[in-house]
Structure formats: C-alpha cells, structure tokens
Amino acid sequence: PPVVAVVGRPNVGKSTLVNRILGRREAVVQDVPGVTRDRVSYDATWSGRDFVLVDTGGWAPDAEGMAAQIAEQAELAIATADAVVFVVDATVGTLDTDEAVVRVLRRSRKPVVLAANKVDDQRSEAEAASMWNLGLGEPHPVSALHGRGSGDLLDAILEALPEAPRSTEPVVGGPRRVAIVGRPNVGKSSLLNKVAGRQRSVVDNAAGTTVDPVDELVEVDGVVYRFIDTAGIRRRVKEASGHEYYASLRTQAAIERAEVCVVVVDASEPLTEQDLRILTSVEETGRALLIAFNKWDLTDEERRRYLGREMERDLVQFGWAEHVNISALTGRHVDRLGPAIEQALAGWETRVSTGKLNAFLGRLVAAHPHPVRGGKQPRILFGTQAQTAPPTFVLFTSGTLEAGYLRFVERRLREEFGFVGSPVHLQVRARE
C-alpha cells in the first residue's frame, strides 16, 4: 500500500491528527519539543483505500543534536513516502522552521497535502487561509482534536496518492518487510537498536494499551526496510507464563507478514526447542531466512566448539540459510546483516527458466536414476517452476518418488541454481 508521512514541527498536533485519521479515541502522546520520537507506522483505511501512515517525530531543521536526529528521521520518512501531510498550527502562523521544512518538501517533489491544524471553529478559518503563503497549495483547515475537517483532509490525501494498483495483485516495490524473531532475551531488541543506528524507543499512545503491530522504516546500507512489529520486539514486559502463547502467536504473525526473517539465537547458551520451532516455522511459512548467532562476545572456545556440534546435529536442515555471528552489544559483524538479507531475498525470488530446469533435470536423471522399486523405475519426466518467493517446483513423474530422492533433487537444485537463504518447495505430480 502507498505510504503517507505526517510531518511538521513539534507541537502542531501530528500525533493527534494521526490518531484522528486512524479513528482512535485514546488520549495521545504529548508532542513535546525535544523529546525523541520514532517514526512509527500504522495501517490505515479511508474510502476503501488502504495506506500506511507514518507518524514522524518533531521537526526542527536548524537545531543540533536531538532535533537534528529527529529531522533526519523526518527526511527519511519523506524520502520513502508516496505523499506527505505537512501539518502547521493555524493559531500560531508559520515560523521559520516551517519555511525550512517547506524547502525540504519542495526538493523532495512529493505530493504534499497542507493541513492547517487547530482550526476548531469557523472563526479560525481565516487563519488557515493565511497558510496559502507557504506556496504548497490549498490549506485544509482541520481540528485534529475535535475531528472538524478531517474527512475532507483524508479525501485530499487519497487524491494526492498515486493510482491504486489494479485488483489485489501483491504490491511489488516498497520497502522489503523484515521480521526479527527469536525467543525472549536473545537480543532482538538490542539488535534492532543497533541496526537502527541509535538507541530509540517507540512512543505510542497510552503505553501498554496498544495491541497494534508497529512497524518501523529503517535504513540499512542505504536501503530502506520495513521492520515488522517492532512493538512486539521491544516489549519489555516480562512475559508471564500465560503470555507465552500470545508471544508465539505474535511471532507467527510477524513471520507471515515478513518477506525475510532474521532468527536471532543466543549463541552463548545451548540451542532450545523453541529456537528450532521458530526456525521450522519460517521454513514452513516459506520465508527467506537468516540466522543470527548473537552474544558472540560471551562465547568462549569451548562453547563455539559445542555450537558447531549443535549445528551439525540440529541445524543441518537449515543449512541453506546464511549464518552470521554477531554481538548486538559490541556491534560485531552487525554490518553483515544488510548484505545477508539482500542475498536471502535474491535467493527467495530466483526464477529458473523451464528450459534450463529441464536441461538440468535431464542430466540429473540420466546420471542418478531413481532406484528401482518392485520392478518399476520411477522417473522425473519434466519440471517447471510454478512460483517464486519461495521457489516452488512442480515435478511431473512416472511413479512415486521416495523422500530421500526428493531431498537429493533439492540438494542438486540448490547446487546448480543457488537459492541461498530461501526454502525450496518441491511438489510431485505422478502420472501412472
């Protein structure tokens, strides 16, 4: 879905407006100048159109330190947005900082909807009209607090968006969706903070009451990714035993929404059943996979040797996934995540032409025929790649192939065509 960023300097009522657009009634976080806020995105709908709403922190382009960081985030938000809602406070009028934002917006060439907020009654509409002087087109008077004018504003936002893609085809393009998953305390939240480049905390309405998944757009090596359900990752609440069930539901939901999953494992402790369950779930859901062995700084020679044995024993079935040995604490090898994520996505989306596939299958079957069973020789007649993401092959056969032979075929397919970081699914259609 298209992305709409809401920007404006602190205290103009961005969060209130975001809540208004989302149709929430909860009290909102105060938009305090100087308080670090993350960009937080939400799924929104208006007139049957879905879009993603990104709430940015306050904006003060000329300020140092904190404010500069906030500004940087807002600039990133604008760069990744399809349209921008620029919020000004009609009761205050335009300030120099607004002008600075306007320059950034012009440079971005993104469609801008100008929201003149705090127009709580008809009398203040004249103040809104003075916002024409920003040169961003018609100001839309709105009262985020009372809802006045918000329907018209939403109509204007939809008009500013690029045409909706036809039907329900999956949206290509847009930031790739990454889920960081793993059992509690393995360092997911530390890793997210490290990857995002600085310590940040999600500011959400009424802490602890929200059940919305919160995604964040994060730039890694110049590529913007959408990190899925960061509220779930960052949740600090100790999970009571009853909550484990919900935690695993949340993990599964994140895996399903993701294109690529980074499964974080605590390298300093023995692998657990739960680690393996999460890995298996990623494979079965058909997502690209990257295994991050975290807390590498806590491992000694002996532990690393034992980990090697655990990998041979328990992780062979995930041998196709890239491993990175990292420390979210020291930052060791965290820079390898970006390239590994890209590689896994490339493997996940590999397409093999029918011609190449069948040339390969022909050679394979000739050199390694299926063993004869009951006087019959099952054979692969031909194959085709039915899907990508993950690569899914349909093999047309005479007779039924044994599971061991299928594993052999998968191994050879991987040797020939790659698919690093991706599950490969094989389906068999037997012709008798």
CB of 182 to ligand GDP, least distance (A): 6
430 known ligand binder: no
Give the footprint of ligand GDP on this chain (CB under 6 A).
182, 184-190, 233, 294-295, 297-298, 327-329
CA Rg value for the chain: 26
14 known ligand binder: yes
- β-strand pairing of 49-55 with 40-46: antiparallel
Residue 203 vs 357, nearer CB to ligand GDP: 203
CB of 267 to ligand GDP, least distance (A): 9
Give Cβ neighbours of residue 273 (< 8 Å, ≥ 6 apart). Answer: none
- Alpha-carbon distance of 409 to 383, in angstroms, equals 12
Alpha-carbon torsion, ordered 113, 118, 121, 122, to 10 deg: -40
- Alpha-carbon distance of 42 to 378, in angstroms, equals 52
SS3 256: helix
186 known ligand binder: yes
Residue 185 vs 274, nearer CB to ligand GDP: 185
188 known ligand binder: yes
Residue 236 vs 313, nearer CB to ligand GDP: 236
CB 186 within 8 A of CB 294: yes
Residue 297 vs 335, nearer CB to ligand GDP: 297
SS3 273: helix
414 known ligand binder: no
CB of 304 to ligand GDP, least distance (A): 15
CB 12 within 8 A of CB 115: no
CB of 58 to ligand GDP, least distance (A): 27
13 known ligand binder: yes
CB of 300 to ligand GDP, least distance (A): 13
296 known ligand binder: yes
Residue 236 vs 431, nearer CB to ligand GDP: 236
Kindly report the backbone phi and psi dihedral angles of residue 289, in degrees, each rounded to the nearest multiple of 5, phi listed first: -135, 140
Alpha-carbon torsion, ordered 348, 353, 355, 360, to 10 deg: -10
Kindly report the backbone phi and psi dihedral angles of residue 115, in degrees, each rounded to the nearest multiple of 5, phi listed first: -105, 115
- β-strand pairing of 260-266 with 223-227: unpaired
CB of 38 to ligand GDP, least distance (A): 16
Residue 140 vs 295, nearer CB to ligand GDP: 295
Residue 348 backbone zone (phi > 0: left; psi -120 to 50: alpha; other: beta)? alpha
91 known ligand binder: no
Residue 52 vs 291, nearer CB to ligand GDP: 291
CB of 193 to ligand GDP, least distance (A): 8
CB 221 within 8 A of CB 339: yes
Give binding residues as ranges.
8-15, 55-59, 117-120, 182-189, 229-233, 294-297
Give binding residues for GTP as ranges.
8-15, 55-59, 117-120, 182-189, 229-233, 294-297
